[in-house]
Amino acid sequence: MKLLFLGTSAGRPTARRNVSSIALVFPEDQNRFWLFDAGEGTQHQLLKSKLKLGKLNRIFITHMHGDHLYGLPGILSSRTYYEGADKLELYGPPGLRAYVESVLLYSEAHLNYELGIHEIDGDGEAFDDGRFRIEAGELTHRVRSFGYRIEEHPRSGQLDLAYLTSRGVPPGPLYGKLKRGEDIVLQDGSVIRASMAVGPCVNGRIVTILGDTVKCERAATLAQHADVLVHEATFGIGLEEKAALYGHSTFLQAAETAAQAGAKRLIVSHISARYADEDVEALIGQAGAIFPNIEAAYDFKEVCI
C-alpha cells in the first residue's frame, strides 16, 4: 500500500500546496483507496492523479475545520457519475452527519450509491474489516480533532516452495489451503502440515495519520511503533507558544512525538504558507536532530509502505 499526499498546506491553499487530504491506496486491490480529510479542491487534485472516485470506499475526517472538510460535498456528488461505485463509508467527529445531510438537502444533490455516516465520539475502534483495524483517538485542538491508527492484521508467512516441490505438492488450490493454515492430504495419503510448509506470520503494517493537534500523549499512543507517522507541523521551531495558542504543533514537536512513539518514519504536513521550500528544508534539518528519519510532505508525494 502507499500514501499519496493530495494537499499539504495549513489553513488555506497556496500556488504550490492545496489544503489537507491524503489518500491511502491499495494497488493490489485494483487501486482502491481511502481518503483522510477532504479540503477544498481535493477532487481536482484527484483528477491530476491516477485515482478514480469510483474506487474510493472510505473517507475519514479528522475534524470539522474547513481546510479539512470543504471538499467533501463535491466528492460525494461527483462520485455519482462513476459507474460501479458501491457503498461509501464516511467517518468523522460529531456534527459530520448534520453537515453532510444539510449540504445534500439544500443543494438538492442525489447520490446513486449508499452512504454510511459514522460519527466518532471518543477513543476506540472505528472499524475492523478482518484485514485492517482502524483506531480513532481524540487529540488536542481548538475543536474536537481525531487521529487514526491503521493497523494491518498479521499476514500468513511465505510458502516454502522448495519443500512443497520435494513433497510433490502441485501448485494450485492446495497452496491456498496451506496458506490459510489448513493441513492437506495428497492422493497417496501423505499429509502435509501447514506448519511445515508455511513460514511464520508477518507482522502487519501500521500507519498513523493525525489531525490538527498540539503535542499530546494521545498522539504518541496512536503512533506507537508505526511504520509511518503523518503529523502536522504548522509552525517553525521556536514558535511553540504560538502553536499552542492556535492548537497546532511545530516541526520540533512532531519530531519529539515520533521519537517518543518509536515510529520508524515521520512525514510532516499541514505546513504554514509562511514557509518557502528552503525554509521547510532548514526546519527539517533542525528537527532531524531529534528524529533523523523525518521528511516533509508536498502535493503528490507518494510514500510506499
Q: What is the pLDDT of residues 39-74, one digit of tens each?
A: 999 999 999 999 999 999 999 999 999 999 999 999
Share of the chain above pLDDT 70, in %: 100
Q: CA-to-CA distance for 187 and 146, rounded, in angstroms?
A: 55
The predicted model gives 241-261 an average pLDDT of: 98
Q: Which residue has the cell 474510493?
A: 56
Q: Can you give the pTM of this predicted structure?
A: 0.90
Q: Look at phi and psi of residue 197 and say left if phi exceeds 0, alpha if psi is from -120 to 50, else beta.
A: alpha
Topology adopted by domain 2-155+202-304 = Metallo-beta-lactamase; Chain A (3.60.15)
Find the range with the poorest average confidence among 68-72, 82-86, 89-93, 113-117.
Answer: 82-86
Q: Is 270 annotated as a binding residue?
A: yes
Predicted pLDDT of residue 294: 98
Indicate whether 176 pLDDT > 90: no
Any binding-site annotation on 141?
yes
Q: Does 212 count as an annotated binding residue?
A: yes
Secondary structure (3-state) at 215: coil
Residue 97 pLDDT: 98
Long-range contacts of 241-249 (CB under 8 A, 24+ apart): 243/214, 244/214, 246/142, 247/140, 247/141, 247/142, 247/145, 247/212, 247/213, 247/214, 248/10, 248/141, 248/212, 248/213, 248/214, 249/213, 249/214, 249/215
- Model confidence at 260, pLDDT cuts 50, 70, 90, reads very high
Give the model's pLDDT for residue 145: 98
95-112 residue pLDDT tens: 999 999 999 999 999 999
Q: Which residue has the higher pLDDT, 196 or 228?
A: 228
pLDDT above 90 (res 196): no
pLDDT value at position 181?
84
pLDDT level of residue 215 (50, 70, 90 thresholds): very high
| Residue 115 DSSP symbol | E
Q: Would you say 68 is a known binding-site residue?
A: yes
Tell me which residues are annotated as active site. Answer: 67
**CA–CA separation, 305 and 293 (whole Å):** 14
User: For residue 198, is pLDDT > 90?
Assistant: no
242 contact partners, CB below 8 Å, separation of at least 6 = 235
Instruction: Assess contact for 233 and 274: CB atoms under 8 A.
Output: no
Taking each continuous run of H as one helix and of E as one strand, the counts in the chain are 10, 16
Q: Is the pLDDT of residue 197 over 90?
A: no
- Residue-averaged pLDDT of the chain: 95
* Stretch (H or E) spanning 192: strand 191-192
Residue 187 has pLDDT above 90, yes or no: no
pLDDT at 84: 81
> Do 234 and 246 touch, CB atoms closer than 8 A?
yes
Cβ distance 17 to 35 under 8 Å?
A: no
The pLDDT value recorded for residue 126 is: 95
Q: Output DSSP code: residue 213.
A: -
Phi, psi values for residue 89, rounded to 5°? -105, 130
- For residue 122, the SS3 value is coil
Determine which helix (DSSP H) or strand (DSSP E) holds 103, and give its type and residue range. helix 96-106
Question: Taking the domains of the chain in order of start, what are their residue ranges?
Answer: 2-155+202-304, 161-197
Helices assigned H by DSSP within 152-214 = 161-166, 173-179, 194-197
Residue 67 annotated as binding site: yes
Structure confidence at residue 119 (pLDDT): 98
Is the CB of residue 218 less than 8 Å from the CB of residue 139?
yes
For the cut 90, the answer to whether the pLDDT of residue 199 exceeds it is no
